[in-house]
Amino acid sequence: MENVSHGKFSGSIIEDEASLTDKVLAAMRGGASPRLFDVMAALVRHLHAFAREVQLTEEEFETGIDFLNCIGRATNDTHNEGMLFSDVLGFSSLVCLLNNGRNGATETASALLGPFWRMNSPNTPNGGSIVRSPTPGPTLFVDCSIRDPQSRPIAGVEVDVWQASPVGLYENQDPSQTDMNLRGKFITDVEGRFSFRSVKPAGYPVPTHGPGGELLRAQNRHPYRPAHLHFLAYKPNYKTLITQVFVDGDERLQSDVAFGVTQHLIGNYQRHDEPRAARAADPPWYSLQYTFVMEPGTAKLPQPPIK
C-alpha cells in the first residue's frame, strides 16, 4: 500500500496506452502451460497492434464485439457460423497450409474441413452409391486410391465422402433430401482403392444469412465456392487427410470465397457422351480418378462442425 501511495507500484496499474500491452503480457505469465502463454501473448500483441494501426474507434470496437456475439447466436447443430467466418477470411486455409505438406513430400494437399462434415456417415460398400434420395444431375463414377509417400497402397483406410447436391445444398440444408444423402464412408481394399457412384457436384453459395454474409456484402464479394467433393481419410499411424477435389473448368476456381483451391486439388472430371452399359448411366455421365497420399503420423479426427 505504501508503494501505491507514492506512485511506485508497477503491477497492473496503467500509466498510458503505450504501457498497456506489456502489463497484459505480464499478467498472463503465471499459467501452467507455456504453449498457452505463447499463443495468447502473440494474440494480445497482434490485437493491440491492430487497434493502434487502424486507430480503432470506440464505435468500431462495439460493432466488432456485437459481430462476434452474432456469430455465436447464428451457430447451432446444423450451422457453424464461426467456421464459415474463418473460411471467408482465408484463416481456415492458412491454418491448413501451415500444418500440411510444407515439405513438398506429397502431391496431395490438405484442404479446409468446411462447415458441413458430419461424424456418422453411413458405411457404404466399395462401388456403392451415396445417392440416398432422388437427386437429379449427371451421374458421376469416382475411383480413388490412397498411397503412402513411397507410392505403396494403404489398405484399411476409413474414407468419409460428402458433397453438395447439384442444386448447391448439403442434405442438412435441404428438407427435400433424405438424411445423409450424398454422404458415405468407405474402407480401402488391399490395393488401397475405393470407389463410389454419385452425381456431379455443383458450385454453391455459402450461407449468407448471418454475420459472414453481412461481411461479404459489405466487401462486395460473391459467396460462391467452386464445385467439389470432400474427403476425410483416417487410419491409425497415419496423419488424417482432410481434402477436397474441385471440378476442373468451374468458373469460380479463381475466386473461391473460402480460398481453398490449390493446383493439386483440381481434378479431371471427364465427360462421357456414350451410354455406360456396366452400372448403367445415361449420357452425359462423368468419371473421376484421383490418387491421395497419406503421410505417417498421428491419426486424429477433427471436431465435427455440425451434428
List per-block mean pLDDT (blocks of 10 residues) for the chain, which spans 307 residues: 43 85 93 95 97 98 97 92 93 86 53 84 97 95 96 98 94 94 98 98 93 97 97 95 94 95 94 82 94 93 87
Report the C-alpha gap between 238 and 232 in whole angstroms.
Answer: 12
Residue-wise over 35-50: b if at least 16 C-beta within 10 A, else e? eeeeeeeeebeeebee
Any domain includes 103 = no
**What is the per-residue pLDDT for 5?**
40
Domain hosting residue 30, numbered range: 2-56
**What is the per-residue pLDDT for 221?**
98
Domain boundary among 41, 56, 71: 56
Domain boundary among 38, 56, 74: 56
Asked if omega into 125 is within 30° of 0 (cis), the reply is no
Q: What are 190's three cell numbers?
A: 488391399
**Same domain, residue pair 150 and 270:** yes
**Same domain, residue pair 200 and 271:** yes
**What is the per-residue pLDDT for 10?**
55
**Same domain, residue pair 26 and 152:** no
Domain count across the chain: 2
**Same domain, residue pair 50 and 166:** no
**Same domain, residue pair 138 and 12:** no
> From the CB of residue 148, how many other CB atoms can be counted at a distance below 10 Å?
15
Any domain includes 62 = no
**What is the per-residue pLDDT for 9?**
44
Whole-prediction pTM: 0.85
What pLDDT digit, counting tens, does each position of 157-183 carry? 999 999 999 999 999 989 999 999 999
Alpha helices in 55-130 (DSSP H): 58-74, 81-88, 91-99
**Same domain, residue pair 247 and 143:** yes
Contact 157, 304 (CB under 8 A): no
Q: What are 281's three cell numbers?
A: 448411366
Report the C-alpha gap between 243 and 234 in whole angstroms.
Answer: 12
Max intra-chain CA distance, the chain: 92
Residue-wise over 151-186: b if at least 16 C-beta within 10 A, else e? eebbeebbbbbbbbbbebbbbbbbeebeebbbbbbb
**What is the per-residue pLDDT for 11?**
67
**Same domain, residue pair 167 and 239:** yes
**What is the per-residue pLDDT for 104?**
44
**Same domain, residue pair 278 and 141:** yes
